[in-house]
Amino acid sequence: MDTITKQKEEFIFRSKLPDIDIPRGLPLHSYVFENFSKYPSKPCLINGANGDIYTYSDVELTARRAASGLNKLGIQQGDVIMLILPSSPEFVLAFLGASHRGAITTAANPFSTPAELAKQAKASKAKLLITQACYYDKVKDYAQENDVKVMCVDSAPDACLHFSDLTQADGDDMPQVDISPDDVV
């Protein structure tokens, strides 16, 4: 009997647009923000849930404030924050703020079980969990047992920090960090 060997074809989907050259040595947030000044008042993020619009200028300023707020919370370069959020402006702002701070972000599905979230938080050594109040019960036991801070982007339970602790910080009050191209964001 003949053996039929099928070769797998590899399919790579590519954009019709040319590849983007990302300069080595440029931190992610610097790359993202480098052209923001061309469109300061144009919409950058639109919250589909409530219609809030964040301009490019708003996003850059709020990301810097978030970085400063992370610093005030004791988040250092190389520390991990865990985002347990749906696609939202707060996800983007926290992610870019973490990049500015030199912190690492791990993202988790809000629909994960408490055990799955605890496993990911433990494996990543997350020092801050950012989520919505409706998911707080999923992480509160892990946070209490491991002395991890929890922050909610909406109406925060008493035991939670509020996202405004990040977004209302002074964006100029942030230590300079030396970010290597090999650093994880």
What are 36-63's pLDDT values in tens digits?
889 999 999 999 989 999 999 999 999 9
State pTM to two decimals. 0.85
Can you list the alpha helix ranges (DSSP code H) found in the chain?
A: 28-33, 56-72, 89-101, 114-124, 136-146, 164-167
Q: Among 33, 28, 27, 160, which residue's Cα sits nearest to residue 84?
A: 160
How confident is the model at residue 151, as a pLDDT?
Answer: 98
21-27: long-range contacts, CB 8 A cutoff, minimum separation 24: 24/181, 25/181, 26/181, 27/99, 27/179, 27/183
How confident is the model at residue 114, as a pLDDT?
Answer: 98
Q: How confident is the model at residue 6 (pLDDT cuts 50, 70, 90)?
A: low
pLDDT score of 77 more than 80: yes
DSSP annotation of 6: P
For residue 73, report the phi and psi dihedrals to the nearest 5 degrees.
-80, -5
Mean predicted lDDT score pLDDT of the chain: 90
Listing DSSP states for 142-176 in one string gives: HHHHHT-EEEESSS--TTSEETHHHHTS-TT----
Tell me the C-alpha to C-alpha distance, in Å, between residue 111 and each of 51, 77, 80, 114, 138: 24, 29, 20, 9, 9
Instruction: Tell me how far apart the alpha carbons of residues 102 and 27 are, in angstroms, rounded to a whole number.
Output: 9
**Structural domain spans, the chain:** 28-167
The CATH topology of domain 28-167 is Rossmann fold (3.40.50)
Name 109's Cβ contacts closer than 8 Å, sequence gap at least 6.
Answer: 84
How confident is the model at residue 7, as a pLDDT?
Answer: 59
Residue 128's H or E segment, with its range, is: strand 126-131
Instruction: Tell me how far apart the alpha carbons of residues 131 and 84 are, in angstroms, rounded to a whole number.
Output: 5
Give residue for tokens 């030199």.
102
